[in-house]
Amino acid sequence: MGCGLSSPEDPFMIRKGVPVRVEIPAGDGWSSYKVGKKLENKNEYELFADNGGEVIKVVLKRPAASATFEDFTAYTEDAANRDDDAAAEDFNAFVMKLPKKIGSAIDVHIGNRKVEGRLAEIPKYEPGERLFMVTKDSQSVVDATVVKRVGSGSTHQVTVARQPGKTLIDLNKFNHAKQRFESVAKYNKVRAMYLQEVVEQFSLIEDAITGNRLNCDDQLIYITVLTDKKSEGTAWAGISSMEDLTEHLTKSSSKRAQGMHGAQGVLVRAGPGTGKTVSLQQLTRLVAKRLQSKSKTDVGIALVPMLLSVQRLASYMKRGTLNSQESDLLSAYINVEFTGQTRDLLLQAYEARALVLCIDGVDEAAGLKAKIENLIVDGLNPMGIRMVASSRPEGVRLERYGKFITMDLAPLSDEQQKQAVAFQLKNSKEYDHLIVLVKIGKAARAAGKESEEVFAVMRELGGGSYDAIYSNLLKSGVAKADAPAVFANTMEFFELASAVPVMLSMYVLCLEHIAAYGSGSLPTSRLHLYTAAVRASMKRRFTDHAEYVTCGLMLAKIAMTNHLVQRREFTSLDVKLVLEGDDAGLAMWQRLEIEEAGVPLIKTLDVGLSVAEATRKTTDPLTKYQFKHLSFQESFFAEGLCWTPARLSDELIPEHLALKAQSVWERGALHVLNDRWMLNCFTICGTTIGNAVSQRLGKGLMELRVTEHQIKVLIALNWEPLRGQAALRELTLPFAGNIDFSEKTSAGVASLAALLADASELPNLTNLDFGLPARIGVEAAVMLVSAAANRKKLRFCGAVHAAQISSMSDVDAILVAATLRNCCGGMLEPSTFASVQMVPPSSDASRICVSASADETLASVFKQGGKSASAFPDEMAKHLMLAGFSAMDLRDSKYTTAELETIGYSAKEILGSLGVGSPTFAALKECAQAGLALELVAGPGADVTLEQLRAAKIAVPDDDAMLDVTQKIASLGSYRALSTVAVAGCSGEGLADVLGVNLVWAIALNAGPEMVELNFVKNKLGIKSCQALRQFLRFNRTVVSIDLHGNELDNNGVAELARALTFNSKLSMMRLSGNERIDVKGINALYEGVTSNITLDTLVLESLAGSNSHGVPVLQLKGFKPKELIDLSSRRLGPLSASLIARLITNCRPVLLELGLERNPLKAEGMAYIAEMLKTNDDVRDLDLRFCAIHAEGMKALADALKINTSVDRVFLLANQIGYEGAKTIIEMLPHNKSIKYIGAQDDMINEMGKAALRQAAIQYNVTIDV
């Protein structure tokens, strides 16, 4: 069989240590090369483009600079000559560092330029297999048949239809695919028919609100490209419409034969109702039309467009329709969604990397979003599939789409708004008046006017338009005293709504209703708009008031039920169950669904059994529906949430329905605020619900650490839930890159500043922490700290550790300055903060500090105002160091040498603070006692000698001892070698603890800048070596990896390493496995260092079952590398790793929807830590614990946690040993849990009695349980 998409050979010749094929970024895509002979220069190879293409010379390295491919070759040859267990383990450990998977990253150096390449697949076909192929000579697709494979690479001998003889061709993933049609001619014929079908299918688009059919070509949607390194200075930066984007997506790849193909991924973001689906439909049609016009002139493989609905893909996945691995989800989807020749066409284009994929609604996959993002980012994009994916901004993290060009749909222009309203309203004087006033307002803001001034200008220049709108407000019942404020709200909201397609359509309905009935007021908020528009839509349909009310109640019931169970799609059976007992509503649904216009606000997705035919026992397909826009369902729910007894009941939202919506609060306010499903619902509610949320949070709240998602909700609610929280002392707002909080005009900035400026609110707030480094903008930071100028006790950043300083930005500098200002009672004018910044060190001896202006540090400003270091609280010591206070300044304020070391001052500066001139013996001893001896002689700017330390009777290794241990290690041999090697240390030497100290000192004194890895595997190192390493890592800035596997480290030794992490800003990997004396107490100590460090990425704590653990991904779990699915599977993690993972998730609150721990021997102890975490976690939806060695005890801990947890809805427990007792704990848990929908408990050693009990419980509690 041929390779198709996923059956290439191993891309690595393991003993040679060199890839067979590599791919290198080129323009918007990739170029594929064969790796040729090694050249004379170290690690340099010739790369050959396929089929007579270019030849280039490059240096290949694995991503971590500590081992080149040449190093790997030497290492494996050495290990192969050793025949002991240590050699095998060492070999396995080194193999783990080698990228072997197709798509794995490798560094490619082309001259002075370094790019991130990747390993490429090696196509392999058997004789007789038919190919769909581009040759160098033809530049178009031909029919070919494989004669044979030539050698072990990708070269094949083929025969080409209608050409004599045989041809040798290098196959790569861009120039061929297996042939699915009888000929290329047949493929082209089917493609032509398909393109015409797409053009016709998307020629008309229905307005979801008004029902009007709009011409697709008239709905030109504009886009803006986010400026970043990927787009800056490229043709992508000039894109402003879907037509422009079409040109880029349909460009020919003329060098496919040589393995070159452009396939830049594009992410399009837009808020709810702004036209994402319409834009993707329009783009699909435009691509089809463009390809039709290029059919006769195109070269390479002819492209094929396809629109993929993520919502539909997720629906198939949930129903189990797609029996496929993630990597092949798209082909599985095509096989289910399409039939006949269309299916074959799309599969052929997919396999030939000729598909142009428009992916609608990445954020609409709910709990499956992480899997679909894996498909897009890790599957389709590396394959070379051209694609555009759309999402709401809050539904994606830009970090996840790091290699994509990001674009935002632009708001509707004035001209587009005018056209839309003209078509649907024909003529509207009210709308014309509003437009006149908005234009005046925009001009006033552009001239620098503030809000109140803007409305004054509208009143002055608006003339008849102002008079008309103002008088209409009074006619609608607005009190004269309230009219100015209502007018301001009306104009602000109209400007917002008129730029969003769905909201503009709703506004049109409101204007139409006001004109028709002569009553009603212009909307002033989203909630007002949705409420009015939904009712206007139904009154447009029903002239009979009773029918209007019946239909409204019917839709409200369905919306409330759907939203409570977090269901977007619903079936005819769902409708029947929801309307059970409501005979009038059920009869109306049955009547409306057979009428041509259908049910208002509802669209039919799949036709099956009707509501009348649907039963609980049916196995036939049911009709499937959804609201035409999810926001309509959300608006009904929002109305219910905002209902209060003081507010008169609405005909469509009676009290009992409102209380049904408000039952969501039973889950707990913070849990509901963290629910992504609820975000747009809260956005619709706006400030109306703010006080209610505050009440739900409780008035005794003293500490609040919110998640990124909860921040989004608080912004949507204008921070209103924080009002009235008089007891609140600590508020942590860990902003991430997915929230724009950069400028004073960014959403939420002004309202948070107003809250801080209000002295009556949050009177006891003493800590407002934005995380470190803070991910907000300078302009926003200045506005916030200025607003809080009178909050004398408020601190804007928590503890700062030396390890974090190098990553701090100007924003952090502003927050440090504001914190110190508030602590000492003023001293800094608001204007000062605009110039506050981080100043990098000017020499090795100086350090990063905060400056107040171009020529003075923050410390100098405080000193000039008479504020010495003693004027600040002791806990501000690290902030003082950042502000530029010297070690001498703090020593004068009674800080000891040991305290100065903990703060983070360099050994040289601390020594200098003990006296001028040559250091005294007493000063040297004092520094040595504080753990600074090694730094004094080997750190930056060191000018103390070993002889001086010895003369002061400080215990340091003697020269002979250091030389002796260095010479004993074959890989080093001498001091001179230490200055040039990349990897230092010793492996399997049985080195005693005291000798380890000698070696660390020798390395510190002699290592060069190339040293990046310390390898101390399988020795006898203990506390003394750890103390030496702590001193070394305090100042070293080159070592990125340290391996201490198989030594005699205990909890005290780990505590020393943890302390080193609070200073070190370079280390990315630490391996501590195989040290049997380390237990959970050591891990707790290590946790403190891990959370203070911002570079440590991988921490290996265990070596289980004779294999090496892949380690804990620290930065991901801390949220520094955001992923909604963190893959912890098959890492051989045990209880120690589980304890660290649980603490990181609990305290760092990473955005984590899926927690995959499968195939790790967690056992009962590890499960207990994970269970404890789940008691407070409200993020995790999918919990995968397959093959985790969980027995009944571990299952009980999990079940107890799930009695409390409100977010987990699927638990996978396959192949554990929970037995009958474990099954009982599951059954006991179910009455207490309302979120779980699925439990997989197959092969869990449960006897027949237990299985029967689980099946019965599944029916009783409406849960699917597989046993």
Could you read off the pLDDT of 190-229 as tens digits, one per residue?
A: 999 999 999 998 887 766 666 666 666 666 566 666 655 5
Least confident window among 215-224, 401-410, 524-533, 752-761: 215-224
Does residue 635 sit within a domain?
yes
Rounded to an integer, the average pLDDT of 599-614 is 84
Q: How many CB atoms lie within 10 A of CB 615?
A: 11
* pLDDT of res. 844: 47
Q: Based on the number of CB atoms within 10 Å of its own CB, is 1165 exposed (0-12), middle (13-18) or buried (19 or more)?
A: middle
Residue at 1196: amino acid letter: K
Highest mean pLDDT among 11-20, 137-146, 222-231, 281-290: 281-290
Per-residue pLDDT band at 323 (split at 50, 70, 90) = low
**Is the domain of 1000 the same as that of 1023?**
yes
- Side chain identity at residue 285, one-letter code: R
- 118 has which bridge partners? 23, 105
Residue 772 lies in a domain: no
CB 347 within 8 A of CB 338: no
Torsion angle, alpha carbons of 418, 420, 424, 428, to 10: -20
877 in any annotated domain? no
Residue 1162 clears pLDDT 80, i.e. is over it: yes
Which of 163, 178, 193 is the endpoint of a domain? 178
Contact 256, 175 (CB under 8 A): yes
For residue 901, give the H/E element and its range.
helix 897-903
Contact by Cβ (8 Å): 445, 454: yes
Q: Is pLDDT at 1151 greater than 80 in this prediction?
A: no
Are 101 and 45 contacting, i.e. CB atoms less than 8 angstroms apart?
A: no
Q: Is residue 320 domain-shared with residue 193, that is, in the same domain?
A: yes
Radius of gyration of the chain (CA): 34
pLDDT digits over 63-107, tens only?
Answer: 543 344 444 444 444 444 444 454 445 445 545 555 556 667 777
> Do 226 and 336 belong together in one domain?
yes
Query: Of 655, 663, 601, which is closest to residue 626 (Cα–Cα)?
Result: 601
Q: Looking at residue 664, what DSSP letter applies?
A: G
- Tell me which residue of 5, 422, 398 sits closest to 214, measured CA to CA: 422
Distance (Å, whole) CA 768 – CA 711: 13
pLDDT greater than 80 at residue 626: yes
- Identify the band that residue 760 occupies on the pLDDT scale cut at 50, 70 and 90: very high
Give the bridge partners for 1191, in sequence order.
1217
pLDDT at 676 over 90: no
Cβ proximity of 955 and 934 under 8 Å? no
- Smallest Cα–Cα separation from 1232: which of 1205, 1211, 1196, 1264? 1205
Using alpha carbons, select from 816, 800, 820, 882 the residue that is nearest to residue 847.
882
Whether residue 4 has pLDDT greater than 60? no
Q: What pLDDT digit, counting tens, does each position of 1001-1017 carry? A: 999 999 888 888 999 99
User: What contacts 982, CB < 8 A, 6 or more positions away?
Assistant: 65, 66, 67, 71, 1010, 1011, 1012, 1013
Q: Is there a single domain that holds both residue 946 and residue 974?
A: no
Q: How many domains does the chain have?
A: 8
Q: What's the pLDDT tens digit per position in 1119-1150?
A: 776 666 677 888 889 999 999 999 999 988 88
Same domain, 197 and 333: yes
pLDDT, tens digit, 9 for 90 and up, residues 556-578: 999 999 999 888 889 999 999 99
User: What pLDDT, on the 0 to 100 scale, is given for residue 1122?
Assistant: 62
pLDDT the model gives residue 1125: 67
Whether 344 and 356 share a structural domain:
yes
Query: Does residue 1 carry a pLDDT above 60?
Result: no
3-state SS string for 715-756: HHCCCHHHCCCCCCCEEECCCCCCCCCCCCCCCCHHHHHHHH
Same domain, 578 and 659: yes
Q: Is 819 a member of any domain?
A: no
Q: CB burial class (10 A; 0-12, 13-18, 19+) of residue 591?
A: exposed
Domain presence at residue 763: no
**Residue 223's pLDDT is what?**
66
pLDDT, residue 1026, reads 97
Peptide bond connecting 773 to the previous residue in cis, omega within 30 degrees of 0: yes
Could you tell me if 273 and 372 lie in one domain?
A: yes
> Which CATH number fits the domain that encloses residue 1062?
3.80.10.10
Q: What does the pLDDT look like over 414-464, one tens digit per residue?
A: 666 666 666 555 567 888 888 888 889 888 888 888 777 888 888 888 888
Provide, rounded to the nearest whole percent, the portion of the chain with pLDDT above 90: 38
* Beta carbons of 1161 and 1191 less than 8 angstroms apart: no
Tokens matching residue 448: 């620098």
CATH number at residue 333: 3.40.50.300
Q: Indicate whether 611 pLDDT > 80.
A: yes
Which of 936, 954, 972 lies at the terminal end of a domain, its last residue?
A: 954
- Of 962, 972, 901, give the one whose Cα is nearest residue 932: 901
- Asked whether residue 214 falls in the same domain as residue 300, the answer is yes
Rounded Cα–Cα distance for residues 256 and 1012 (Å): 40
Domain stop point among 913, 936, 954: 954
β-pairing verdict for 1154-1156 and 1125-1127 = parallel
CA distance 279 to 268: 9
pTM: 0.76
Q: Would 1252 be classed as within a structural domain? A: yes
Q: Say yes or no: 324 and 226 in one domain.
A: yes
Q: CA quadruple 1064, 1067, 1069, 1072: dihedral positive or negative?
A: negative
* pLDDT confidence tier of residue 10, bands split at 50, 70 and 90: very low
Pick the most confident of 93-107, 387-401, 942-956. 942-956
1132 and 1068 housed in the same domain: no
Binned at pLDDT 50, 70 and 90, residue 13 comes out as very low
1027 φ, ψ to 5°? -65, -40
Residues written for the chain: 1267
Between residues 1130 and 1087, the one the model is more confident about = 1087
pLDDT for the residue numbered 71: 45
Mean pLDDT, rounded, of the chain: 84
Q: Is residue 341 one of the residues assigned to a domain?
A: yes
Closest to 922 (Cα-Cα) out of 957, 897, 904 = 897
Q: Classify residue 777: in a domain, yes or no.
A: no
Q: Are residues 1247 and 1204 in the same domain?
A: yes
Sign of CA dihedral 758, 759, 763, 768: positive
Q: 55-61 and 105-110: which strand pairing?
A: antiparallel
Q: Which of 558, 1062, 1048 is nearest to 801 (CA)?
A: 1062
Q: For the chain, report the end-to-end CA distance as a whole number of angstroms.
A: 36
1229 pLDDT band, cuts 50/70/90, is very high
Residue range(s) defining the domain that contains residue 263: 184-409
SS3 836: coil
CA 989/CA 459 separation, integer angstroms? 86
1206/195: higher pLDDT: 195
Query: Which of 199-213, 396-410, 740-754 comes out lowest in average pLDDT?
Result: 199-213
